[in-house]
A and B are shown apart, each in its own frame.
Chain A
């Protein structure tokens, strides 16, 4: 079994810090993608997927809570798979339960805007999973390395 140790990252989940948190997260995803040897297109896809779910955590998971918590980012690269986990303690939310848009042929002016981010997250990783562990949401992104 081959594996790489990658330092975790902790981000603020406070909506006032969203720009800084998302920027740091995208930089982190770029770095771990390079460690894992992902090609440029795969790196961009993972970055988009992770950013979309993190933005939802900040805007919906922590919004309205008295003291928004943090987002912990954990990454492993084992046996040719990069696994990145976003952990938060916001309201329980399983993105897999969300209705996704399917009206892709419709003109823009009639399009529903809900669900686009979750759709893109699912579409751009090799595997997406969700776990609820204690008071923690775990959004799990898996990419196959070349």
Chain B
């Protein structure tokens, strides 16, 4: 399934919806959305992933880029990731730096 990434800004929350298969050939599109969110001074980054079917290390590298570009104070939330996405996130220790959620939790993400 073709990869797509879309950005929606809600106040200072950047919601990036990822769909399809995220590999090294398309990671640049994901990175572009992170740059757009950073330009709009996002204070939280929410990655909506229920329909993301595959993610390689190229996607993980974009998460590192996001933290470096947006700043360590910007929280990253991974929402609805499928097991095959969660496993490499945990294998590489990225779950220590992002918040994993089964569903979008407004009470947590939108809290001041």
Residues of chain A having any CB pair with chain B under 8 Å: 18-19, 22-23, 26, 41, 44-45, 47-48, 51-52, 55, 58-59, 101, 103-109, 111, 113, 116-117, 119-120, 123-124
Is B21 a contact partner of A26 (Cβ separation < 8 A)? yes
Interface pick from B5-13, B34-42, B86-94: B86-94
Is A105 a contact partner of B96 (Cβ separation < 8 A)? yes
Question: Can you name 15 extra interface pairs (CB under 8 A) apart from A104-B92, A107-B72?
Answer: A19-B23, A19-B25, A22-B24, A23-B21, A41-B84, A48-B56, A55-B58, A108-B67, A109-B71, A109-B72, A111-B64, A119-B92, A120-B56, A123-B91, A124-B88
Give the residue name and chain of the A residue nearest to B76 (CB).
Answer: A108
Minimum distance in angstroms from A143 CB to a CB of chain B: 15
Give the residue name and chain of the A residue nearest to B74 (CB).
Answer: A109
Size class of the B contact interface (CB-based, 8 Å): 20 to 34
Q: Which residues from A are CB-within-8-Å of B54? A: 26, 47-48, 51
Residues of chain B having any CB pair with chain A under 8 Å: 21, 23-26, 54, 56-58, 60-61, 63-64, 66-68, 71-72, 76, 83-84, 87-88, 91-94, 96-98
Is A18 a contact partner of B72 (Cβ separation < 8 A)? no
Give the residue name and chain of the B residue nearest to A18 (CB).
Answer: B25
In the docked arrangement, what's the CA distance between A51 and B56, Å?
8
In the docked arrangement, what's the CA distance between A116 and B25, Å?
16
Give the residue name and chain of the A residue nearest to B61 (CB).
Answer: A113
Given A22-B24, A108-B94, A120-B92, does the pair A55, B56 have CB atoms closer than 8 Å?
Answer: yes
In the docked arrangement, what's the CA distance between A108 and B87, Å?
17
Is A18 a contact partner of B21 (Cβ separation < 8 A)? no
Is B56 a contact partner of A52 (Cβ separation < 8 A)? yes
A-B contact count (CB 8 A): 85
Q: Which residues from A are CB-within-8-Å of B94? A: 108
Can you name 28 A-B pairs with beta carbons within 8 Å? A19-B25, A23-B21, A26-B21, A41-B83, A44-B84, A44-B87, A47-B54, A51-B23, A52-B57, A55-B24, A55-B25, A55-B56, A58-B24, A59-B24, A104-B92, A107-B96, A108-B64, A108-B76, A108-B94, A108-B97, A109-B64, A109-B71, A113-B61, A116-B92, A117-B56, A117-B58, A119-B91, A119-B92
Q: Which residues from A are CB-within-8-Å of B76? A: 108
Q: Which residues from B are CB-within-8-Å of A103? A: 93
